[in-house]
Structure 1
């Protein structure tokens, strides 16, 4: 019961903060994380040269897909006037064609190589691998007290030409690369 109340409180907090959330009955961990991904896409700006107005926003999973079909429900949604298209990818080369890449836990051994390959390419990297944002990923999802939270590496986003909204930065558990380092 406490776990469900924590999730409800999280969705309520996101809703009150102006972040719309995809809600399903009895959402599982990766349904919640899928909702976070779509919201990250809503509250991050890409350079116009990387994601022109009206272009399709490509959301990808690099490695084994832990979402169990939850991301298929996001396919075709509108974010910032752009249609979202989901695509699983198997290689770094394919990931470079994406705008938002969720790096699966199956890729943890190759994480350094992946992050170096994505650096400066205008790709928002997101993962739930422990310490992801601290080691140079864009946004790291963390499960804490049965709640999904997230850390943001502001320096990584800036290096990649991405800009997180102030709303998103305020909701982050920790923001690295700025004066603010914890919440």
Structure 2
């Protein structure tokens, strides 16, 4: 008899409680994108020769919070992932992936000039990033995060992207992709 009274109460409590995990945040997803980009890019042999890790660097204000540092327990290409926050583009030596935060929009052209020709994958969610010469631009379309690739810029950085990564891109610009 007691269970007849408690069962409806239990059902109401279960319906009201958040049993499902909250959906991932925008920057939690973007952090995963950075990790996956690091897994599907090939750097020149000499670029990784002295490194035991894939270093992901964030220029500007950190929009990721704990989500990016959570990647440090992961691996990319058989190497541990490390996260750094250099103060300027001149301090990115040793970084394999550089995320340019929106806070750096005014300095974007100078940053891209500084990194030009180096084996560094540049990624940002700044509007027009790939058109400005960045490698991969994260964009939000219909509440989904997608990405555009500037193949010419990737080539000038001496990087190769996997065919799977190229297939997943929303848009390819530059060499063979225009």
1:173 aligns with 2:170: yes
- SS, match of residue 130 in structure 2: coil
The residue correspondences of 1:122-141 to structure 2 (distance < 5 A) are 122-141=119-138
Q: Which whole-Å CA distance do the structure 1 matches of 2:102 and 2:69 have between them?
A: 19
Aligned-residue Cα RMSD (Å) equals: 1.4
Of the candidates 18, 39, 43, which is equivalent to residue 42 of structure 1? 39
Larger Rg: 2
Kept in 1: contact 2:151–2:177 (CA 8 A)? no
Q: Return 5+ residue gaps in structure 2 as ranges.
A: 1-20
**In structure 2, what is the equivalent of residue 120 of structure 1?**
117
Q: Which whole-Å CA distance do the structure 2 matches of 1:153 and 1:180 have between them?
A: 8
Q: Return 5+ residue gaps in structure 1 as ranges.
A: 1-23
Deviation at 1:91, TM superposition (A): 0.8
1:56 aligns with 2:57: no
**In structure 1, what is the equivalent of residue 10 of structure 2?**
none
Q: Which whole-Å CA distance do the structure 2 matches of 1:99 and 1:57 have between them?
A: 6
Deviation at 1:25, TM superposition (A): 4.4
Kept in 2: contact 1:57–1:83 (CA 8 A)? yes
**In structure 2, what is the equivalent of residue 75 of structure 1?**
72
Q: Which whole-Å CA distance do the structure 2 matches of 1:180 and 1:49 have between them?
A: 27
Q: Which whole-Å CA distance do the structure 1 matches of 2:160 and 2:118 have between them?
A: 14
**In structure 2, what is the equivalent of residue 12 of structure 1?**
none
User: TM-score scaled by structure 1?
Assistant: 0.82
User: TM-score scaled by structure 2?
Assistant: 0.85
Q: Which whole-Å CA distance do the structure 2 matches of 1:25 and 1:89 have between them?
A: 31
Q: Which whole-Å CA distance do the structure 1 matches of 2:105 and 2:97 have between them?
A: 18
Q: Which has the higher helix share?
A: 2
Deviation at 1:143, TM superposition (A): 0.6
